[in-house]
Amino acid sequence: MGLRKKVFIWSAVLLILLLFSVYFIIGSFLEHTYSHLEQDQMYQKLHQLNDVYKNSLQNLGEFTHDYAAWDDTYAYILHPGKKYEASNLVPGTFATYDVDFVVYLNAGQQIVYGKQYNPITRKLENIQSTAWIRRYHLARLMRPGEKNPG
């Protein structure tokens, strides 16, 4: 084997080793960089989702507080009537406030009013069962002037 052939072979081997080294160095760098980018993007989306959740809870809290503190609602629970329902508990109320259902319970934990909103038909449907009260641990009702622990 001549000198020219040996130099060519060694040059080719060194070039291949150099290319593999550059490939692995750049590959690991890019993998690390993309991993950080994906993680940052995931945290950003998680924070956005958390903000949406907090906003929804705040809106729901304001909605329930407004209706609970209202004298007309208190009077309705004592003496239910269609007039209150027709002016305050219409499908538009559910859609506007993005509320799935509204349930009014009296002090005896009986349902005075219970409807859920069907966004497909845009109609209200009755809620008859009280099993969800036990399921979601809502058996203890708050009393007037009592602060919400959460």
Residue type, 87: S
Interatomic CA distance for residues 112 and 78, integer angstroms: 9
Q: Is the pLDDT of residue 122 over 90?
A: no
Interatomic CA distance for residues 41 and 72, integer angstroms: 47
Where is 103: in which H helix or E strand? strand 101-105
**Whole-prediction pTM value?**
0.58
Where is 117: in which H helix or E strand? strand 111-118
- For 17-68, what is each residue's pLDDT tens digit? 999 888 888 888 888 888 888 999 999 999 999 999 999 888 888 888 888 8
Backbone φ and ψ for 144, nearest 5 degrees, come out as -55, 135
CB 111 within 8 A of CB 101: no
Radius of gyration of the chain (CA): 32
CB 82 within 8 A of CB 115: no
